[in-house]
Amino acid sequence: MNQEQVVKDTFGVGVNESEKTSLVATFLFGQEIYGVDALKVQEIVRFQKMTPVPQSPEYILGLINLRGQIVTAIDLKYRLTGKHIQINENSMNLILNTESGTCSVIVDEVGDVMEITESQQEAPPETMSTELKKYVIKICKLENVLLSILDSEMIARKE
Amino acid sequence: MDTNYDDLDDLDLFLKETKESVITLRTSLQEISNNNSTKDNYDLAKRAAHTIKGGARLMNFPIVENLAFKIELACDQLRSGELYFTKELIEILLDMTDALSEVMEHIKEHSNEGDNQNAHIENELEKYLTQQNSKPSGEETGDHERPTEDSSKDSISSTKKHHEEGVQERSQNEEQIKSSVKIDINNLEMIMNLVGEIVLCRNQMLILSEKEKDPLLTNAVAAFSSITSELQESVMSTRMHSLETLFSKYNRMIRDLSSKFMKKINLSIKSQEAELDRTILEALNRPIIRLIEHIVEFSVETPEIRVKNQKDPYADITLNSYKENGQVVIEIMDDGAGFDLDDVKNNLVESNILKKEHLSKMSVNEILLSIFHPNYTTSQGNPPNEDRMGELAIARKEINEIGGQIAVQSHSGKSTLFKLHIPQTLTVMPGITVVASGETYVVPQSNLQELIRVKKDMLTQIETINGQETYRLRGKLLPLLNLNEMTGSIQEQKDGCYILVLLCGDEKFGLIVEDIYDIEEIVVKPLSTHLEQNNLFLGSTLLGNGEIALILDVMGVGARKNIKTSEAKMIANHDLNRTKTSNSTLLFNLGCTEIYGIQLSQVRRLEEINTSEIEYTQGRQVIQYCGGILPLIELKEAMEINHAPVEKNIQSLIVVSYRGHEVGLKVNEIMDSVQYEGELDTHIMSDPCVMGVMMINRQPALLIDTFRVFDAVFNYQLYNVNSPSKGRIFYIDDSAFFLNIVSRHLTTEGYECVTELSSTKGYEILCQEHFDLLLIDLDMPELDGFEIIQKSRENIGLKNLPIIALSSIISSSDRQRAINLGAEECLVKLNRQELLNSIDQHIANEATLA
């Protein structure tokens, strides 16, 4: 009981010891918050010079040099919403390392790594577009916002 | 026999060892068969068989053991002389080796030996030996018995003794076998990648150390660099396997094929030492098999025919390989029937690949290369086999896919040689770095033939023919692609550019780039799956400065732009190669005997369409063409002409440019293009649509003025002759042909045009009469055009006269000279629209100035 109290104070939420939690790395496209399994995130790097690939699919922004490894940069915002991301010097590269390969997701802002419990997660609503449903595994109700948790495998996989 | 193996490692080890031994055994037997029956070879064979036997005994595979034992024994006896060497015996032994190999395959897949389907092989040996023994030599009979005794003795021995013996033999064998270790493929890949990274770091350090110019640093980096190169080579060699792994399989295949087609074939392997990357080796297998199948089926004659032609009934197929210029060359040679040039030509014409006329202009090598065309069939003397169609084409495609090339040489009746050039590895390749649209790209050196620098003032050498940018390379036309265009941004090449002459299969084309950096060894990194469909690039790499450069896939680039020699292009090519001036005329007929011609400079394209594509709108025939509508015109709509009503499915069209649009002229047959040097008789025909009559090969041909024709058909308002002319133009040219044509163009547009053949007289007239503009030809014999320009400018009365110079061949220096002397512009003969625009412009300018 004491333990519970400590945890509650630290995290501000009630955590049932037996409840499973997962770590989610969050990021922003504009004002919308998304998240992926933190274990799949290899690292986060600042925006880097990208080499464009002519005649490539619309959602490919180009290639970046990650310490000798050439990684494909993906416009995830475009894949989710149909709008291209506006790249500026504040954009960040989220490097995902999945079974389907390594790729970099360009995001507007990087958020915290959150610990999300099972109970906070819900299935995505029926009203969600099929495009989004491909990527969204769960929706999470945080204090003021809705966090959409995405499937990193689907992100890294070819369309 | 089903057995449980608790430790599968043993089985793996056995399989691997035996595989190596089988290869050794086969190779040695092969060598022996080729009359190389040294004791060493017998030793090698015997030891290999011995190893197999020991391993099989240990693993409890009696069939394998038995076969190996028999082979070992035979080799032993051959070595000691107890058995005499005959080709037949070696054949039998080879067959037994193959049978053994098959059983091994079965073991590999099912972990057991299965039934012995090859028992008959052993009977063959028995038969042979008994035959031998019927020869006079009592001792041999005795020997024949001994082996059997040995084997029975073995079967009596206890299992424990087996085991001990087996182990002993194995340890002996281990010393004899080249020491090797098993390594996980993933580990190997990781090591390769890391070494690749080191190479890139090394490149970076080289660049940086050069900048620093610190001698100590430079030395250290140099040492590091050479060590890295060695490391790279060593690691690469782990992936490299010699061609032996491929060639050793073909023995069996050729024996099967020979019996299938009832031909007798000797396979000899001259050299299989050359090494190739594992993946390339795997990819090579199929095309080489196709080639060999083709050779056995078509090239090699039956023994009867060979004997008739005084050849050995056994045909020779030779495989050879060697390294050359960083590539591996594989030669497949046979002494069969070869390719008969006339046969090939007939086949090409019959399969509709090439026309007879074009064949006469092709070299022997070019014609032979055509056998790789997908539609090529051999009809002569061979039963038409639908499946075999295009086998050679598929083989070539597979070879091209791994970056290789194939060529063929042949002597009719004597031999055929297929030569394959294969890059050693795809992971590291030399490439040339180029710049386009501000980004750096790499072009693989294996496709690069030449580099051409086009300086700023030489940009005019890039001509546009039939809508395709082209460059004249030593008399031949080279189609050009612009890397800028393909990568997105279209920039003006103001400061000149470079052209890379690239070879793509058989086709050559040029790639225009902004700048060229260097040739370097680059590590190829594959593109991610997202970009797999992109056929412009085959990978990416990191340059020394940390930049990412995409590597161009030359085949993909060429295919995308569809660089094929279409008939129109071939005609234009053929024609332009001969042309010095633009007197080129395209001849056609309308189904009757009369020949007609139009100027080639007006022709945009030659097309053939299906009559079913013709649609009707507003009473006019049109077709959908290149995203728009192309109106179709027949000459008889404007002229009194005989059109034979020929009903065909295919309609030939000449696409002509007309007032900024395109019109399709329906013709019956497009005949040829000629360079017409003769007179144009303008008096005979009174029809305004006919410019004149040419005499071509003693036959009259009417030169059609398409503008008049189209004007009439489309009811274009001609300028009223009585209305004031737009200007008075004086045109001096030594060619009556051009005088005629240009003046017609000008009068149609509403100008008054006075022409003059002689330049001296022309200058006189120029001084006497008033003109609004002077058109002058630069290449005239008497008073040449430059002089006239100069004189005119010196003449006060003519100082302000706009002068436009015309010439067939313009070099930048000529152009500059004309302009320096005072001409407004210098144009190439003969672009009607350009000329008219220019005249309009300069006359208008003068008007405002006056």
Q: Does B528 touch chain A (CB under 8 A)?
A: yes
**pLDDT reading at A155 higher than 60:** yes
Name the nearest CA neighbour of B657 among B476, B830, B519. B830
- Residues with Cβ within 8 Å of residue B624, at least 6 apart in sequence: B613, B615, B630
- Asked if A159 lies within 8 A of B542 by C-beta distance, the reply is no
Which of residues B472 and B163 earns the better pLDDT score?
Answer: B472
Q: Note the pLDDT of residue B443.
A: 92
pLDDT (tens digit, 9 = 90+) per residue, B456-494? 777 767 776 656 677 877 767 788 888 887 777 666 656
Strand order, beta sheet including B584-589: B669-675, B584-589, B595-599, B699-704, B690-696
Confidence at B350, pLDDT banded by 50, 70, 90:
confident
Residue B123, Cβ density class (10 Å: 0-12 exposed, 13-18 middle, ≥19 buried) = exposed
Mark out the alpha helices in B698-831 (DSSP H runs): 706-713, 736-748, 759-768, 785-794, 812-821
Give Cα separations from A69 to A95, A100, B541, B728 (angstroms): 12, 16, 9, 71
Name the nearest CA neighbour of B225 among B208, B202, B204. B202
Tell me which chain A residues have a C-beta less than 8 angstroms from the C-beta of B488. 52, 54
In percent, the amount of chain A with pLDDT more than 90 equals 26
Of A49, A57, A70, the CB nearest to B530: A57
What kind and span of H or E run contains A4? Answer: helix A2-11
Name the nearest CA neighbour of B341 among B358, B364, B325. B364
Q: Does B488 touch chain A (CB under 8 A)?
A: yes
pLDDT (tens digit, 9 = 90+) per residue, B550-577? 998 887 777 665 544 343 344 444 444 4
Residue-averaged pLDDT of chain B: 77
pLDDT (tens digit, 9 = 90+) per residue, B671-681? 887 877 666 66
What are the two backbone dihedrals, phi and then psi, of residue B751, each rounded to the nearest 5 degrees?
A: -95, 160
In percent, the amount of chain B with pLDDT more than 70 equals 80
Which of residues B506 and B807 earns the better pLDDT score?
Answer: B807
Rounded Cα gap, residues B636 and B656, in angstroms: 16
Tell me which chain A residues have a C-beta less than 8 angstroms from the C-beta of B536. 54-55
Buried b (16+ CB within 10 A) or exposed e, B282-321: ebbeebbbbbbbbbbbbbbbebeebeeeebeeebbbbbbb
Which residue type does A123 have? A
Q: Note the pLDDT of residue B554.
A: 83
Query: Picking from B31-35, B352-356, B484-488, B641-645, which range would have the lowest pLDDT averaged per residue?
Result: B641-645
Q: Does B831 touch chain A (CB under 8 A)?
A: no
CB B395 within 8 A of CB B293: no
**pLDDT reading at B22 higher than 60:** yes
pLDDT (tens digit, 9 = 90+) per residue, A46-100? 988 889 888 888 889 999 988 778 899 999 998 888 889 888 888 999 999 888 7
pLDDT (tens digit, 9 = 90+) per residue, B584-600? 788 888 888 888 888 87
> What is the pTM (predicted TM-score) of this model?
0.47
Q: Note the pLDDT of residue B149.
A: 33
DSSP result, B54-74 = HHHHHHT-HHHHHHHHHHHHH
Q: Note the pLDDT of residue B78.
A: 84
- Asked if A51 lies within 8 A of B547 by C-beta distance, the reply is yes
**pLDDT reading at B290 higher than 70:** yes
Left if phi > 0, otherwise alpha if psi is -120 to 50, otherwise beta: which for A120? Answer: alpha
Confidence at A13, pLDDT banded by 50, 70, 90:
low
The length of chain A in residues reads 159
Q: Note the pLDDT of residue A3.
A: 61
Diameter over CA atoms, chain B? 128
Q: Note the pLDDT of residue A92.
A: 92
Which of residues B239 and B50 earns the better pLDDT score?
Answer: B50
Name the nearest CA neighbour of B482 among B495, B472, B492, B473. B492
Suggest the residue from A48, A49, A56 to mutate for an interface test with chain B (most B CBs closer than 10 A): A56
- Asked if A74 lies within 8 A of B550 by C-beta distance, the reply is no
Q: Note the pLDDT of residue A45.
A: 92
> What residues in chain A have their Cβ under 8 A from chain B's Cβ atoms?
49, 51-57, 60, 63-65, 68, 70, 72, 74, 100-101, 103, 157-159
Suggest the residue from A48, A53, A96, A102 to mutate for an interface test with chain B (most B CBs closer than 10 A): A53
Distance from CA of A114 to the nearest CA of B (A): 30
pLDDT (tens digit, 9 = 90+) per residue, B170-214? 555 444 456 777 788 778 878 888 888 888 888 888 888 888 888
ipTM of the complex: 0.79
Which residue type does B798 have? L
Confidence at A18, pLDDT banded by 50, 70, 90:
low
For B483, the closest chain A residue by CA position comes to A54
Which of residues B37 and B635 earns the better pLDDT score?
Answer: B635
The length of chain B in residues reads 850
Rg of chain B over Cα atoms, rounded to whole angstroms, equals 38
What percent helix, strand, coil does chain A show, rounded to 5?
20, 45, 35
Give Cα separations from B392 to B26, B312, B378, B617 (angstroms): 29, 27, 11, 47
Q: Helix, strand or coil for residue B568?
A: helix
- Residues with Cβ within 8 Å of residue B209, at least 6 apart in sequence: B217, B218, B221
Residue-averaged pLDDT of chain A: 84
Name the nearest CA neighbour of B806 among B767, B771, B773. B773
Name the nearest CA neighbour of B241 among B272, B287, B271. B272
Rounded mean pLDDT, A26-49: 90
Q: Note the pLDDT of residue A107.
A: 93
pLDDT (tens digit, 9 = 90+) per residue, B96-106? 888 888 888 88
